[in-house]
Amino acid sequence: MSITEGDVAIRLRGVEKRFAGATQPAVTSLDLEIPRGQIVTFVGPSGCGKTTTLKMINRLIEPTAGSIEVLGRNVGSMKKPELRRQIGYVIQQIGLFPHRTIAANIATVPKLVGWDKRRVAERVDELVELVGLDREMLQRYPSELSGGQQQRVGVARALAADPPILLMDEPYSAVDPIVRGRLQDELLALQRRVNKTIVVVTHDIDEAIKLGDRVVLFEVGGVVAQQGPPGDLLAAPASPFVEEFLGRERGLKRLSLLTVADADLTTGWTVEAATPSSEAVEVMRANGLEWIAVRDDNRLLGWVWLDDVAAVTRAGDAPLHEFRAHVTPSTPLREALDGIVTSQTRVAVVIDEGRYLGMLTIADISESVGRGTG
Ligand SMILES: Nc1ncnc2c1ncn2[C@@H]1O[C@H](COP(=O)(O)OP(=O)(O)OP(=O)(O)O)[C@@H](O)[C@H]1O
Ligand SMILES: [Mg+2]
């Protein structure tokens, strides 16, 4: 791992936690660096020490040994309120205060640290918009909101005092899969706006892969089995444990992380619309093509059948068919693959702001996924 000094938001060195009476440590000699401005996901089987590690970062649990630094300072030497102002915390099962209104829930930390009424009210307004809640919900109580809405309140509350760091423990475990997917998308969109350092604990590997710039996969005892960008874990699992935890469809999971820009495109067979059809037919026959793409300079007009070209004067005079699968460099390869297998020509055309860049075939996709897997 090569993170330079100033870029580390949270650093754990030789951290250990032994609970009284336990035979095995919950966390064993853990070294970890969480880069600033990234989302890092902690994933692993139940009881592997994810929550314990998170709680040691904001000192809800004190480590038995080792040191933890947050933004360059040892947390042991910081006053807890000071530390908590740096760290927003979304606890397992959301944990809103049931007898406080939504507005009062969100305002918890700003009030605690002594903001005046007006500043608190303004901040609550801002947060409601940021996490996508309706203002009319502010005077309701948590039980009067859906699970997904409560979760958004939990995030708003954690962000209230604008901490640089956000710790989230199984934030989406209480909501159904559809809402979960939406909340995950919202978190990614939110992160593009707020650019925090975020640690998300989950036991769902797909969630860890989707959300994490980096994934830390734990084994029981708080031991890191492997960490890195999700694509690296999927491409080269470090042990049978990791491989098993990553589960089935590793190839497809990688496809959803890679984009068209990661693949080497095929130039594809194309002719200019003005090309004499005899010439186009010759090219097609020489290369065993049944169809060919027709372009007008940088623009792709569509594709034509060999037989149709043979019957006209210029390639562009033949009946044009539209390419069904259009992708851009930022399209995930998984989506591009879907387009390819459902199109007649078995290729996706890659267009960037109207400009034709090339074609993508299943072979190109396999090639880019196969790279690095040995
Ligand atoms: N207060 C405690 N006293 C004793 N043992 C504890 C305490 N809290 C946690 N443990 C133990 O420490 C280990 C790690 O627990 P932790 O809550 O960190 O796991 P986790 O990875 O968050 O699991 P889950 O996915 O189920 O939430 C477990 O074996 C647990 O039983
Ligand atoms: Mg836990």
Centre of ligand 2 to C-alpha 270, Å, is 56
Per-residue pLDDT, 14? 96
Do 133 and 47 have their domain in common? Answer: yes
Per-residue pLDDT, 192? 92
Q: Is the pLDDT of residue 134 over 60?
A: yes
* Overall average pLDDT of the 183-191 stretch: 90
Q: Is the pLDDT of residue 90 over 50?
A: yes
Do 213 and 280 have their domain in common? Answer: no
Per-residue pLDDT, 80? 85
Centre of ligand 2 to C-alpha 92, Å, is 7
Centre of ligand 2 to C-alpha 180, Å, is 18
Q: Which domain holds residue 364?
A: 261-370
For the Cβ of 22 lying below 6 angstroms from any atom of ligand 1, the answer is: yes
For the Cβ of 19 lying below 6 angstroms from any atom of ligand 1, the answer is: yes
For the Cβ of 49 lying below 6 angstroms from any atom of ligand 1, the answer is: yes
Q: Which residues contact 21 (CB under 8 A, 6 or more apart)?
A: none
Do 161 and 101 have their domain in common? Answer: yes
Q: Is the pLDDT of residue 354 over 80?
A: yes
CA-CA distance, 43 to 92, in Å (whole number)?
A: 14
β-strand pairing of 355-360 with 348-352 = antiparallel
How many Cβ atoms are within 10 Å of 254's Cβ, its own excluded? 25
Residue 5: both structure tokens together: 């000094």
For 80, the 3-state DSSP assignment is helix
**Of ligand 1's atoms, which has the minimum distance to the CA of residue 24?**
29
**Of ligand 1's atoms, which has the minimum distance to the CA of residue 92?**
27
pLDDT by residue (tens digit) across 258-295?
899 999 888 888 999 999 999 999 999 999 999 999 99
Looking at this protein, which amino acid is placed at residue 254? R
Do 265 and 220 have their domain in common? Answer: no
Centre of ligand 2 to C-alpha 315, Å, is 64
Which residue, by CA, sits nearest to atom 12 of ligand 1?
26
332 neighbors 258 (Cβ within 8 angstroms): yes
Do 179 and 102 have their domain in common? Answer: yes
For the Cβ of 26 lying below 6 angstroms from any atom of ligand 1, the answer is: yes
Q: Which H or E element spans position 122?
A: helix 117-130
Order the strands of the 65-70 sheet from edge to edge: 27-35, 8-17, 65-70, 73-74
Measured from the alpha carbon of residue 17, the closest ligand is: 1
Do 266 and 201 have their domain in common? Answer: no
Please report, for residues 75, 92, 139, 181, 328, the alpha-carbon distance to residue 169 in angstroms, rounded to integers and kept in the order given. Answer: 20, 5, 26, 16, 35
Point out the least confidently predicted range of 178-187, 302-311, 321-330.
178-187
* Overall average pLDDT of the 103-124 stretch: 92
Domain membership flag for residue 70:
yes
Do 269 and 207 have their domain in common? Answer: no
Q: Which residues contact 15 (CB under 8 A, 6 or more apart)?
A: 27, 29, 30, 31, 32, 53, 56, 63, 65, 66, 67, 68
Domain membership flag for residue 253:
no
For the Cβ of 55 lying below 6 angstroms from any atom of ligand 1, the answer is: no
Residue 300: both structure tokens together: 């792709």
Centre of ligand 1 to C-alpha 21, Å, is 13
pLDDT band per the 50, 70, 90 thresholds, residue 325: confident
Domain membership flag for residue 337:
yes
pLDDT by residue (tens digit) across 197-213?
999 999 899 999 999 99
Do 308 and 163 have their domain in common? Answer: no
Q: Give me the chain's average pLDDT, please.
A: 91
For the Cβ of 50 lying below 6 angstroms from any atom of ligand 1, the answer is: yes
Per-residue pLDDT, 367? 85
The pTM for the full model equals 0.82
Do 241 and 268 have their domain in common? Answer: no
Which residue, by CA, sits nearest to atom 1 of ligand 1?
19
- Boundary-marking domain end, from 225, 247, 269: 247
Measured from the alpha carbon of residue 30, the closest ligand is: 1
Centre of ligand 1 to C-alpha 201, Å, is 13
For the Cβ of 52 lying below 6 angstroms from any atom of ligand 1, the answer is: yes
The CATH number of residue 265's host domain is 3.10.580.10
Do 227 and 298 have their domain in common? Answer: no
Q: Which of 182, 37, 170, 188 is nearest to 91 (CA)?
A: 170
How many domains does one find in the chain? Answer: 2
CA-CA distance, 367 to 364, in Å (whole number)?
A: 5
Per-residue pLDDT, 130? 85
Centre of ligand 1 to C-alpha 273, Å, is 67
Per-residue pLDDT, 260? 93
CA-CA distance, 244 to 237, in Å (whole number)?
A: 9
Domain membership flag for residue 18:
yes
Domain membership flag for residue 153:
yes
Centre of ligand 1 to C-alpha 25, Å, is 10
Per-residue pLDDT, 5? 56
CA-CA distance, 312 to 31, in Å (whole number)?
A: 71
**Of ligand 1's atoms, which has the minimum distance to the CA of residue 21?**
4
